[in-house]
Amino acid sequence: MIRKTALALFTAALAVAPAAAQSYRDRLPEDEVLYFLLPDRFENADPANDRGGLTGDRLVTGFDPSSKAFYHGGDLKGVLQRLDYIQALGATAIWVGPIFKNKPVQGPKGQESAGYHGYWITDFTQVDPHFGTNTEFKALVDAAHKRGIKVYMDIVVNHTADVIQFKECGDCAYRSRADYPYQRKGGTSGGPINPGFAGDDNHSAANFAKLTRPDYAYTPYVPEAEKQVKVPAWLNDPIHYHNRGNSTFAGENSTMGDFVGLDDLMTEHPRVVAGMIEIFGGWIDRFGVDGFRIDTARHVNPEFWQTFVPAMLARAKAKGIPNFHIFGEVADPEVAALAQHTRVDKFPAVLDFAFALAVDEVASGKGTDRLAKVFAADVLYEGGEKTGHRLPTFVSNHDAGRSSTFIKQALPKVSQAELLQRVELAQAMLLLLRGVPTIYAGDEQGFVSDGNDQDAREDMFGSKVASYNDNHLLGTDTTTATPSFNPAHPLFREIAMLARLRTSHAALTRGRQITRFASDKPGLFAVSRFDPKTGAETVIAFNTSPEPWTGNIQVETRSTAFHTLAGACPASAAAPGSLPLSLPAFGYTVCAAGASK
């Protein structure tokens, strides 16, 4: 009863006003607070779909709630059932992990795992039966939209499930274009094939019409039982794949090799380009979704994105979605590598891995200048600082791991109390600094993962995975063995407060940001953000040290009076251009210039 009351209070406090709900389409990408979840690990509202309509053991159905590598039962009805919770957290958009129909189980004998994560797609047109139906996804999107909450889909273009096999080997090494050219079978000394094919740099339909045989590097085949498993049907033809063996994620094979055995689509092929535009344009047309997170974006040739991204934006605009948010996953902490994909591939935004690393390091006690360097490099992105504001930022995710885990690894002797303080600080940086803050489900309930990938994909509903349930969570004595939807959790309350603060102040969503102070040591990091219409200044300061900090921060000379938005702020500047502040250990403050409204 206490939890229900707390949830009701938060829902009432953070509910989207009717006017906002009517105008959610008008919000810019940087106006959002994203909440990212994997449907299988979020909430199980319909146990009838746990096995995806399949019969047999876990190697057939993919269902084993006691194993971190298999389906656990979460579904789209579960997300719909928890919209109150998500809204109470202050999220304005939900990024849903891939929901397309997957190959239930794959992997060599003894190393099998399931497609619970959604990245082993066989049917690009249907929701996976483990998660529900297309109708249920439509119901979720419609219900979210009625609340003014956007829905982003996680999509995959680089690869499909592992269906294509090679006659020469099982786990096949990559074979390059130089050693295995398209016009020879099985190497430079092989017989001539594909006469007249000018190579994959010529993307014309006329050129690719001459590529008729896929056996230039290996001899691909599809097992009889899976010959028609992929949808749309054109995906079943090996000619639409690179068929060169496994990627090492470097050089040529970064875009042409199989991602750990997954069938790598030949995204240079005009049939693949047109097919993918039709597939994902169809999801926009039918469901009216608000954005795409694009998986493995760096492993696709730039020319594909240069065509695909504008096509998706045009499709969305025709559907009445003017601010469709597209961002690619480029898993690299170097800003130059991230920025390259906005300049060459023409992505409107990419996930900000540089920000994630910097925040987790700063929250672990590294110098605060690491954050300053990330923001100073925003000029490298196509569009500069404006693009920086549209980069989804995060401190935890389902692939790399959780902020709490990184901090604990950096400070193995840290107490639970101090770890919670440092994690709260990291979340404050996420929600107050430039970018589009993305909360990973479980962070608001104090999850501390054992590592990355499967170890960072804990259940929000009561888990049966022993390696999840033995984790010491932050801010609570409970474990993941019981449902984790407590609105009274200290991290939930902090995130809810900051999310509401952010979305109610334009300086914190769209405002220009300048760094006021950073150092090569732990301690103060401070920025000013400016209201895009009035120019009013908001000062945000963080103390990453276990010791209190007191001093002065430079501000605009016109900023003379201040009021507190979070923390504790003085009523006025000490002198023109100087704001005195005192921050407790691991504390932060948000001070707005001008009279309180």
The per-type count for the chain, helices as H runs and strands as E runs, is 19, 20
Whether 112 sits among the annotated catalytic residues: the reply is no
Which residues fall within 8 angstroms of residue 55, CB to CB, at 6 or more apart?
61
Which residues fall within 8 angstroms of residue 265, CB to CB, at 6 or more apart?
157, 158, 159, 160, 240, 241, 242, 272, 276
- Show the beta-strand stretches assigned E in 270-381: 291-294, 325-328
- Active-site position among 295, 352, 361, 424: 295
- Show the beta-strand stretches assigned E in 409-511: 436-440
- Active-site position among 263, 329, 352, 459: 329
User: What is the DSSP track for 546-585?
Assistant: SS-EEEEEE--TT--BEEEEES---SB-SBTTEEEEEE-T
Which residues fall within 8 angstroms of residue 142, CB to CB, at 6 or more apart?
none
State how far the alpha carbon of 190 is from the alpha carbons of 150, 166, 180, 193, 215, in Å.
54, 17, 9, 9, 11
Q: Look at the alpha carbons of 284, 285, 289, 291 in this order and tell me if their dihedral is positive or negative.
A: positive
Which residues fall within 8 angstroms of residue 279, CB to CB, at 6 or more apart?
124, 125, 232
Determine the distance from the C-alpha atom of residue 287 to the mean position of all C-alpha atoms in its chain, rounded to a whole number: 20
- Beta-carbon count within 10 A of 504 CB: 10
Give the H or E element holding residue 100: strand 100-102
Torsion of the alpha carbons at 159, 162, 167 and 168, rounded to the nearest 10 = 70
Nearest 5°: the CA angle 365, 352, 500 is 80
Whether 329 sits among the annotated catalytic residues: the reply is yes
Give the H or E element holding residue 114: strand 113-114
d(CA 468, CA 359): 25
Just list the catalytic residues: 295, 329
